[in-house]
Structure 1
Amino acid sequence: MATFNDRDFRSAMSQFCTGVVIVTGISEGRPVGFAAQSFVSVSLAPPLVSICPAKTSTSWPLLRAAGSFGINILGADQHPLCMAFAKSGGDKFAEFGWATSAQGTPVLEGALGFVDCQLEAEHDAGDHTLVIGRVLELDVFSVDRSPLLFFRGRYGAFDDLANP
């Protein structure tokens, strides 16, 4: 097998388009959250999803301690929200509307969908942590808006919703 460097690896992985989500939760009575593109459905029975926060994340340890988190699936028009939650520190929720789910998790206004999870398991994954969440509740808020996508280092949208 040929050798490759970090840049080669990033370049190859950038050929795969991902959606963008904001992971949210409550820590010591305050909302916390971070942007992520590593989100995937894992299992239907039981219903499980996965995220992969960086080990340098300051938000994930707070959510881990809480034992639960929510996944806010972003629409293409929510790029500013994504950028705000991609930064470390500050009150990320101050600029954006949100409510709470039945579980008490922050649900961001305008999200395409929401998945409320209980922390099921964590696994070491290099410079990230592979997190498995058991889905407790979910909702779809919009089926006619394009999702926010990340591809080749840029954000974009899927324009052809009419042709599945």
Structure 2
Amino acid sequence: MSDEVAHHVFPADGRSLRRVCGMFVTGVTVISTGAGDEGDGTTVNSFTSVSLDPPLVLFCIHRESRLRGELTRSGRFAVNLLARRHEQLAQVFAGRQAPAAGRVFSGRSARGVPVLGESLAYMDCDIRAEYPGGDHMIVVGEVVQLGVHRRRQEPLTFFEGSFGRLEEELRAAYARWDG
């Protein structure tokens, strides 16, 4: 019996990094922003909580994202946590064209940030800092309001480049890796 661990080694380039990071299961969010009747959003899976005191979260957004200018203008955003049944909504917001805000955002937070009323929950945040991160910006926000729309629904997940359910994804992964 060998002590050697079977593995594959890849160069640390963008394509390989994307492939390996894709093996990390993430939740899926839509980051929304806007003021007045205007609203826009983008699908993001690079979201995490940072601190409980003060309540901070962060997400990463491409420097060329269509949402960057509106985020800068408004200074605030909402993180909308998506349910499994929102796969199509996530795909719409992942596109280069913004969906018509009136047809997608069903409400606004108490501070006027557009939110997805069908989401599991949302966090209304003020932008506290932005840091360069290669071809992305790291946006840190302070949570000032929370809202829960739905409970006990399965979250939308992202794994190996696809939306889905964890059980389905693991079965497919085991078949691929285990033979």
TM-score of the two chains, using structure 2 as the length reference? 0.82
Aligned to 2:149: 141
Aligned to 1:109: 117
* Range with bigger deviation, 24-33 or 36-45: 24-33
Indicate yes or no: 2:77 matched with 1:72: no
Deviations 1:52-106 (A, max 9, x none): 0101101122112110000110000001111111112243434435101101011
Query: Rg bigger for which structure?
Result: 2
Return the letter of the residue paired with 2:113.
T
132 and 67 in structure 1: CA distance in 2 versus 1, 3 angstrom threshold:
same
Matching residue within 47, 70, 93 for 1:85: 93
72 and 41 in structure 1: CA distance in 2 versus 1, 3 angstrom threshold:
same
Matching residue within 101, 122, 134 for 2:130: 122
In structure 1, what is the Cα distance between the partners aligned to 2:60 and 2:77?
A: 13
- Structure 1 residue 9 displacement after superposition: 1.0
Structure 2 gap ranges (5+): 1-8, 168-179
Percent of counterpart pairs with the same letter?
A: 33
Deviations 1:33-68 (A, max 9, x none): 111111100000000000101011011221121100
Aligned to 1:38: 46
TM-score of the two chains, using structure 1 as the length reference? 0.89
Contact 1:85 1:92 in 2 (8 A): no
Aligned residues: 159
In structure 2, what is the Cα distance between the partners aligned to 1:2 and 1:88?
A: 30
Task: Return the structure number with greater helix share.
Answer: 2
Task: Return the structure number with greater strand share.
Answer: 1
Structure 1 gap ranges (5+): 160-164
- 3-state DSSP of counterpart to 2:61: coil
Contact 1:33 1:92 in 2 (8 A): no
Aligned to 2:27: 19
Contact 1:69 1:119 in 2 (8 A): yes
- Structure 1 residue 24 displacement after superposition: 0.7
In structure 1, what is the Cα distance between the partners aligned to 2:105 and 2:37?
A: 17
